[in-house]
Chains A and B, each alone.
Chain A
C-alpha cells in the first residue's frame, strides 16, 4: 500500500493584482509526521502559502494536493491556527464554544455536537492547559491564553496535517517552550507545518526548515544553506544567524 503524500505542491504561483506573491513553489511532504518550520521576512508570503494549502486562495498556476485530494476536499484532515485574529473579542462566545467550532467538520451539518465532539474539545483544552477557563468569554483572556484556545480549536478536529501561523507570537517563554514540546509530541501522529520568526526554536524543535520569500527554499533537511538565508532575508547572514547554532547552517555544495 502506498501512502498518499501529505502535501504535494507543484509549480504554484500566486498573485494579488499583478504583484507576484509566490513564485514557482514546489513542496513534497510524504511522511505522515514531522515538523516543518517555515521562516521568512514580513510580507514574504508565508500566510499566503498556508492559505493556499487551506484552499482559501487559489493559485493562478500550478496544483496543490493534500492527501491526494484538493484542499477543499481534505478539510476534515487539516487543522489551522491563524496568524491574524481579527475577530471581535467582545463577541458573546465562551472558550468552550470556540473550541467546539473545531469539531464542525466532524459533527455533521445541522446536528448538535455529540459526546465524541465534547470529548475531543475537552481533551484539546486539557492539552493546552486551558480547561479551567472553559466557561470564560473569549475576550476575558490574555493574548497568550487566547492563542492557546485557538491551538486547542485546531487540535479538537484531530487533524492529520496541522498548519500553524506564528503560533508562538505572544506566548511567554514557559508557554512557548510548552508549545514546542507539545508540537514535538503531536508530530508523531500528524504532519505539522509551522510558520515562525523564532529562529532559535526552529533549530531545536523542527525536523525540516524551509525559507520563504516569494520563492520557497527547501532542501528536505534541517540545514539552511547560508545562501538561502541571505537570499530570503536579503541581508548578511551574520545579522540573522545569531539565534541559529552553526550545525544548522550549511553551504551549498556545488
Chain B
C-alpha cells in the first residue's frame, strides 16, 4: 500500500483532496446553513460555459472556469433577488443557459476536446501540478475571506433582515459569499467534476451538523470528514479502477447514511441527545 505514495500522481491526488476538503468543508457549511444548495448547484453547472470558453480560446479550461463561475455567481445572485419571477426559476434558467454556452463553444472548437470528461466528472488521479497551485491559491483566498468576514457572514446567514437593520450591506455580502462559493467550485472541479460538485458541498457539512451546534466546529468536522473520505475514495477507485469522483461521492453518501442511521438509533434510545456541543 505505502509504495503507492511514491507515485507523483498519487501524491498530487492526495494534495488535491486535502485542498479540496478544506474549501468544501468551510464553504459547504455556509451553503448548508444558509440553504443555498440550489443556487450553488446553479453556479457550478453554469460554470461549464467557462470550460467551453477555455477550449474555444485554446487556454487551460481552469482559467476559463474561474472568471465564468464568478460571473455566474454575480448574475445569479443579483437577478434572483431583483427579478419578479421566483428565485428557483431564475436559477434553473441560468443554470442551463451557462451549460448551453459551454456545449456550443466546445462544439465550435476544432478537433477533439480531450479531457472534457474530467471537467464533468472529475479525475483526481490526473490533477497536474499547475492545477494544484491554482487550488492552493484559491484556498488561501477562501480562508482569508472567511476569517475577515466571519461575524458578518454568520449574521447574514442567521438573520438577513436584522443584519440589514444593523446597517450592513447585506446584498453585497451575499454576492461575496456566492463568489467564494464559485471559487470553491473551481477548487472542486478537478476532484469530482462539475456535475458532482454539489455533493461535496453538502454532504460533509450536513454530516458535521449532526455533531455540533457551533459553526466553527462544523467547519472543522466537515473538513476532516471530507478529507478522510476523499482519501478513502481515491484508494478504492485506484484499487478497483473506478472513476474517482463518483467513488468519492458514493463513499460519502454511504457514510452519511450510516452515520445518520446509527445516530438516529442512539438518539431515540436516549443516548446522544444533547451530545451536540
Q: Which residues of A contact B (CB under 8 A)?
A: 54-56, 72, 75-76, 78, 80, 82, 87-88, 91-94, 97-98, 100-102, 104-105, 107, 109-110, 112-113, 137, 153, 157
Contact = CB atoms under 8 A, between A and B. Distances in A.
B166 A93 contact: no
Nearest to A157: B166
B33 A76 contact: no
Interface stretch (B59-67, B110-118, B196-204, B212-220): B212-220
15 contacts: A54-B165, A55-B165, A76-B167, A78-B165, A80-B165, A82-B162, A92-B33, A92-B209, A92-B212, A92-B213, A93-B213, A94-B213, A101-B158, A104-B151, A113-B151
A87 to B, nearest CB: 5
Given A88-B35, A110-B149, A93 B158 contact: yes
Main secondary structure of the interface of B (DSSP, over half): helix
A104 B158 contact: no
Contacts of A107: 151
The listed residue with most B CB atoms (<10 A of its CB), out of A91, A97, A109, is A91
Contacts of A102: 166
Contacts of B213: 92-94, 137
Nearest to B159: A87
A157 B155 CA distance: 15
B161 A101 contact: no
Given A92-B209, A93-B213, A104-B166, 4 more contacts: A94-B213, A101-B162, A102-B166, A113-B151
B157 interface: yes
Contacts of B276: 137
B88 interface: no
B158 A56 contact: no
A100 B162 CA distance: 12
Nearest to B167: A75
A112 B214 CA distance: 17
B267 interface: no
A166 to B, nearest CB: 16
Interface string B19-50: 00000000000000101000000000000000
B165 A56 contact: yes
Nearest to A135: B277
A113 to B, nearest CB: 7
A157 B159 CA distance: 16
B231 interface: no
A101 B165 CA distance: 11
A101 B166 contact: yes
